[in-house]
Structure 1
Amino acid sequence: MAPRVVIAGISGATCSGKTTLAKHLARIIPASLLLFQDDFAPPAEQIPVDPTHGWQDWDDAKGAILWDKQRETLRHVRETGKVPDEHFSHDAFNEQYLGPVPISDKVQQTWRRKFEELLERQEGDKPTIVIAEGFLMLVDPQSVREFDVRLFMREDHAVLKRRREERHGYHTAEGALWRDPPEYWDLCVWPAYLRAHAPLFLSGDVERGAFDPSAIDGVQLLETKELGMEEMVVRACEAIYEAVDSGRGRERWAAP
């Protein structure tokens, strides 16, 4: 009998706070697993080169992720409750350049206690809770079908641009440091983000619109300009808790 697994997918633009939220959740939820979409990026030498600008394009959905590898990993986690033995995460290479975004001890302890009690009440084997985060985590239908909880963090263009430009760069799987070339945000990152996510929003309005339920159902939109990190942690905890407690997961969503 396959183990019970609950997978929460967290997405949003680069620098929207996805990784910070995911790590807070991992600290709160006992024995949870973390999956970083960056670990499914191709080797640096396979990243496509933009024919117009001559730089490597790490952000276009077509070439930024090894989609088959991501899908196979999610299926393996669903079937076994574990990441594949050969899976390697290079997240430790990347510093939190903007510094930690703390939440109160009270919120952290309250929700950890809630999850401990919830998991203790479960009959048989305790479910494994998986937190999968990434800037393209909701654009691939095959991956999204695995998500029992679907969260999307939306932040203003100007804030995201400032945060991205304040970063020193990103470490690749090989340990090298990628730094954005001049104008990379305006000519590559932001257009790729809008292009990848437009099919998911009504009228293609990624910046202000609502999700189109015929394209993707069940997404909770977290407006980061209105919510602090602590409130987003609480809302994410509520959504994951409800999925575990009710036993209703991905099968309730109509699309994809």
Structure 2
Amino acid sequence: MGPRVVIAGISGATCSGKTTLAKHLARIIPSSILLFQDDFAPPAEQIPVDPEHGWQDWDDAKGAILWDKQRDTLRRIRETAKVPDEHFSHDAFNEQYLGPVPISEEVQQEWRNKFEELLERQEGDKPTIVIAEGFLMLVDPESVRQFDVRLFMREDYAVLKQRREDRHGYHTAVLADAEGSLWKDPPEYWDKCVWPAYLRAHAPLFVSRDVEHGAFDPHAIDGVELLEANELGMEAMVVRACEAIYEAVESGKGRERWAAP
């Protein structure tokens, strides 16, 4: 029997705040592991070119992620409770696009204490908690089957567009340089590439394919906690995420309880 691992998958549109949420959780939960889906994007040289617009399409689910690499990494983390040695992250090169989004020290300390006490009560090896975030983290069934906790952050179109336009770009992998290169969106990229790809990838998961306003279809994906960012705010979402992860660890009930996928 291998180590006990609890994996929380966090998804949502680009610029919805999922990376900020994930980093808050990592600061709160002792010895947790952060996994960024952006680190499974292909090198820039391998990103498909949109035949109509002539730009590279970083957002279409088919070409945006090295799916076999992501699946293998999640499987190895499940088996070993650690990230493979060869895994490299570009996150350190990226700016925090939302800027500092603080939560109160009282909430941080309260949940840090709760997790410390919870982990101390666990018999045998303490479980390793993994926080995996990404804009396509819930669309691949094989990856989703690894998630004991499933969270999705939804934010309004206008807010997302403004945040995306305000950011200065993001670092991507290239074959010739381990540190990667900086990608900047071409004009109209949000409306003609990013947003349509987001809706297209997630429509099968929602009732009536309504990504913007609908509920998750439990026949397509079960157990997803929907976090409405425009209603909750970051601190409330941190609390909701902590509650979900805490419950999974305390109950010992994980991915096996979800009916789909």
Q: Quick one: distance in 1 between partners of 2:44 and 2:143?
A: 23
Unaligned runs of 5+ in 1: none
Structure 2 unmatched runs, 5+: 175-179
SS of match in other structure, 1:8: strand
CA distance in 2, matches of 1:98, 1:42: 25
2:194 matches 1:177: no
Which letter maps to 2:220?
Answer: A
User: Aligned letter for 1:18?
Assistant: K
Amino acid at match of 1:5: V
Distance between the aligned counterparts of 2:97 and 2:197, measured in 1? 23
Partner of 1:119: 119
Q: Assess if the C-alpha contact under 8 Å between 2:17 and 2:98 holds in 1.
A: no
Alignment of 1:235-254 (within 5 A): 235-254=240-259
Partner of 1:234: 239
Q: Which AA in structure 1 matches 2:216?
A: F
2:39 and 2:97 map into 1 onto residues whose CA distance is 19
Provide the secondary structure at the position in 1 that maps to 2:8.
Answer: strand
Cα RMSD after superposing both structures: 0.5
Q: Secondary structure at the match of 2:120?
A: helix
After TM superposition, the runs of 4+ consecutive aligned structure 1 residues lying more than 4 A away are none
Q: After the TM superposition, which residues 1-256 of structure 1 pair with which residues of structure 2 at under 5 Å, given as runs?
A: 1-174=1-174, 175-256=180-261
The TM-score normalised by the length of structure 2 is 0.97
CA distance in 2, matches of 1:136, 1:85: 24
Question: Does the 8 Å contact 2:97/2:163 carry over to 1?
Answer: no
Matched letter for residue 140 of structure 2 = D
CA contact (8 A) 2:15 2:98 kept: no
In 2, the alpha carbon distance for the partners of 1:207 and 1:159 equals 13
Letter aligned with residue 108 of structure 2: Q
Tell me by how many angstroms 1:99 deviates.
Answer: 1.2
C-alpha distance after superposition, 1:114-150 (max 9, x if no partner): 0000000000000000000000000000000000000
Distance 1:178 1:151 in 2: 27
What is the number of equivalent residue pairs in this alignment?
A: 256
**C-alpha distance in 2 between matches for 1:89 and 1:66:** 14
Q: Deviations over 1:47-70 (max 9, x none)?
A: 000000000000000000000000
SS of aligned partner of 2:124:
coil
